């Protein structure tokens, strides 16, 4: 997946924790931050689920739309 360079403002304590974890695991700061963001957004779970499924894209889209419609009806 292509990467994009960005700048962010982060609490010094958080950055220190990132650097400690990066040093302990032999990763770069960016890898630690990206992994944390992916976990928080649930992207790691989606990747694992996607890797286990055997649906074609069209079937997956139909299920997603059906779930969305079901959720909207339930909220009314």
Whether 47 maps to a domain, the answer reads yes
Decide if 40 is inside a domain.
Answer: yes
* pTM for the model: 0.59
**Residue 2 located in a structural domain:** no
pLDDT for position 5: 94
Number of domains in the chain: 1
Over residues 22-38, mean pLDDT: 95
In a domain, 3, yes or no: no
Q: Is residue 4 part of a domain?
A: no
- Check residue 67 and give its pLDDT: 84
> In the predicted model, is pLDDT for residue 75 greater than 80?
no
Q: What is the DSSP string of 17-41?
A: HHHHHHHHHT--HHHHHHHHHHHHH
Q: What is the pLDDT of residue 18?
A: 97
The parent domain of residue 62 ranges over: 12-75
Determine, yes or no, domain membership for 55.
yes
Exposure letters 60-75 (e unless 16+ CB within 10 A, then b): eeeeeeeeeeeeeeee
Average pLDDT, the chain: 86
Checking if the pLDDT of 61 tops 70, the result is: yes
């Amino acid at each position: 997946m292509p990467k994009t360079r960005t700048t962010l403002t982060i609490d010094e304590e958080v950055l220190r924790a990132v650097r400690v974890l990066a040093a302990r695991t032999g990763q770069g700061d960016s890898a630690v931050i990206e992994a944390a963001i992916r976990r928080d957004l649930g992207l790691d779970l989606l990747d694992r689920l996607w890797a286990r499924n055997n649906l074609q894209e069209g079937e997956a889209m139909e299920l997603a739309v059906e779930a969305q419609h079901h959720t909207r009806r339930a909220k009314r």
